[in-house]
Amino acid sequence: MKNIVLIGMPGCGKSTLGRLLAQQLKRPFYDADNVLEKLEGKTIKELFAVSEARFRDAETRAVRHLAELEGCVIAAGGGVVKRSENIGIFKNSGIVVFIDRSPEKIVQDVDTESRPLLAAGRQKVFDLYAERIELYRRCHDHTVDNNGELEAALQALLELVRRES
């Protein structure tokens, strides 16, 4: 059974949708950021304090670890697309789904102070979106829109998984 890997902006709903999808499918759920912190024994904030490169190296190690699992739902970190090797690793063991949510919707819902890359404020969300949107669009196998009701996005994910199974 292939993994289902959710990619997208911080705050787009990857973790929320991932948990719900995993429950519906009776599959294990992994938040890549939590896995990364366990594997490294450091928080994301601590890794970023050293450098973004240090964090990205740790992220790639977590991606490799997660890709070895089977039949899981994985919420990837928002910047996982910054290294194409990460997406290649995920695609070898799963289906990559871009959770598309507009930056306007993200800033309405997300506490930017609790996320290291977004701590600079709401404008950072728009800047990251502009920087990453083409990467997300190039990397995915499928897209699910999450600009409306959460339940609609979940249903779209469930339909996609059923088609791919």
> What is the DSSP-derived secondary structure letter of residue 145?
E
The pLDDT of residue 119 is above 70: no
pLDDT band at 113 (very low <50, low <70, confident <90, very high): low
Cα distance between residue 48 and residue 116, in whole Å: 8
pLDDT tens digits for range 8-22: 998 899 999 999 999
Cα distance between residue 106 and residue 146, in whole Å: 10
pLDDT band at 98 (very low <50, low <70, confident <90, very high): very high
The pLDDT of residue 116 is above 60: no
Contact 80, 100 (CB under 8 A): no
Q: What are phi and psi of 115, to 5 degrees?
A: -120, 125
Altogether, the residues listed in the chain come to a count of: 165
Picking from 147, 4, 145, 14, the residue whose alpha carbon sits closest to that of residue 77 is: 14
Report the predicted TM-score, pTM, of the whole model to 2 decimal places. Answer: 0.93
